């Protein structure tokens, strides 16, 4: 966990509300991150919209057009609200910080959605079509998500879009990666 964080305000997470979720009684079901010593998930504050930016470099116009539907799907499934802040030139990076004041000011960095290649972002090597990552912050002895990134493989997404039903598969893929976020 990093100590870097914006000046505390109600919009930057002075007080974050963390959801209470019931965990299904199923050994095949588990959250990717849980609160220390608990089965409760680490999550975004459900009372705050999740802001995001898009790096269009490398993405096709068709690929960029898929994002609104993927975010709508995720919003319908979770109740979370998403706010598109527009385009960015920020490249994806392993271990991306939640707080990038030189780029986004004194606030949590918006979620980054980026198209990339395995040469630029090695985690996309092999058959990996997308990667989502987020790093929790400690808020009053609980962990919370405040930012993150989704990186999509440009070439593989373009290949998917060439097939019948490719648009639906691509939207499902992006929705899936957003769900990991």
Residues 148-176 have pLDDT tens digits of 999 999 999 999 999 889 999 999 999 99
Residue 180 has pLDDT above 80, yes or no: yes
What does the pLDDT read at residue 94? Answer: 93
Residue 63 has pLDDT above 90, yes or no: no
Residue 9 has pLDDT above 70, yes or no: no
- The pLDDT of 105-110, averaged and rounded, is 94
pTM, whole model, 2 decimals?
Answer: 0.85
**Cα dihedral 16, 20, 24, 30 in deg (nearest 10):** 20
What tens digit of pLDDT does each residue of 67-83 get?
999 999 999 988 899 99
Residue 18 has pLDDT above 70, yes or no: no
What tens digit of pLDDT does each residue of 116-136 get?
999 999 999 999 999 999 999
Residue 151 vs residue 60, higher pLDDT: 151
Residue environment code for 133-172, b if the CB has 16+ CB neighbours within 10 A, otherwise e:
bbbbbebeeebbbbbbbbbbbbebbbebeeeeeebeebbb
Residue 103 has pLDDT above 70, yes or no: yes
Q: Find the range with the poorest average confidence among 17-31, 49-63, 118-132.
A: 17-31
Phi first, then psi, for residue 169 (nearest 5°) are -65, -40
Give the pLDDT band of residue 1 (cuts 50, 70, 90): very low
Q: How many other C-beta atoms lie within 10 A of the C-beta of residue 58?
A: 18
């Amino acid at each position: 966990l990093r100590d870097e964080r914006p000046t505390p305000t109600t919009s930057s997470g002075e007080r974050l509300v963390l959801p209470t979720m019931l965990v299904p009684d199923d050994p095949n079901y588990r959250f990717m991150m849980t609160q220390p010593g608990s089965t409760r998930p680490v999550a975004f504050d459900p009372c705050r919209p999740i802001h995001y930016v898009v790096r269009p470099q490398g993405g096709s116009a068709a690929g960029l057009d898929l994002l609104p539907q993927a975010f709508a799907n995720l919003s319908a499934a979770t109740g979370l609200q998403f706010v598109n802040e527009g385009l960015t030139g920020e490249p994806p990076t392993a271990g991306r910080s939640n707080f990038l004041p030189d780029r986004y000011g004194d606030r949590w960095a918006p979620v980054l959605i980026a198209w990339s290649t395995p040469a630029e972002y090695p985690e996309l090597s092999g058959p990996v079509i997308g990667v989502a990552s987020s790093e929790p912050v400690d808020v009053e002895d609980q962990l919370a998500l405040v930012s993150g990134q989704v990186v999509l493989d440009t070439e593989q997404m373009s290949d998917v879009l060439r097939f019948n039903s490719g648009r639906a598969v691509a939207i499902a893929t992006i929705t899936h990666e957003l769900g990991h976020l």
